[in-house]
Amino acid sequence: PKISGISWSLSLVIWSLFLERQLASDTVAPLLHFPPMIAHVRGAVHKMDPGEVTVDVAGVGYRLAVPMEVWEKLEEAETRMLWTSAYVREDRFDLYGFLDRAGRTLFEEFLKLDGVGPKLALELCSVPRSFLLQAMNENDVRLLTSIKGVGKKTAEKLLVELSSLAE
């Protein structure tokens, strides 16, 4: 498709050069903060490997990584809406899906923590919230280290962050 005579690919190249120049400067223009582009998707769900689904939206299949509890609740070919969070980096554009906004918000809060990437954030979202609350209430680092990918230092940070999220 053309945008005022400019192809999409050319406009993306121009935009990426603009962003690169802005990010290289000491002051980043305020317009560089964008709200998420894809807030949710609704369509026929197709299970892939555990923790991964595609959602067919008008003939376009969006691949989403989902917490295991979400994957288990979804039925093959059912029409569902999943709230999404996009993780965009220079070498990747990944979508993560959740059954409700609260799950998406929790995922995005985990991503804000130092040392927590999308894989660990998704793993933490797969843990029952009652388990996280128990670890927080008992201030128990050992409980959190039983989660795949969580070491002692990360568990200590998580306890602090979980307490502040609960307030």
Give the model's pLDDT for residue 21. Answer: 56
Does the structure show a pLDDT above 80 at 165? no
Give the pairing type, strands 40-47 and 79-89. Answer: antiparallel
How far apart, in Å, are the Cα atoms of 22 and each of 10, 18, 25, 29?
18, 6, 5, 7
Task: Give exposure, 90-116, as e/b (b: 16+ Cβ within 10 Å).
Answer: eeeeebbbbbeeebbebbebbbebeeb
For residue 54, the SS3 value is: strand
Q: What pLDDT, in 10s, does the model give residues 145-154?
A: 999 999 999 8
Please give the average per-residue pLDDT across 91-112, as a whole number.
92
Residue type (1 letter), 147? I
Token pair 């029409």: residue: 79
- Mean pLDDT for 123-130 is 90
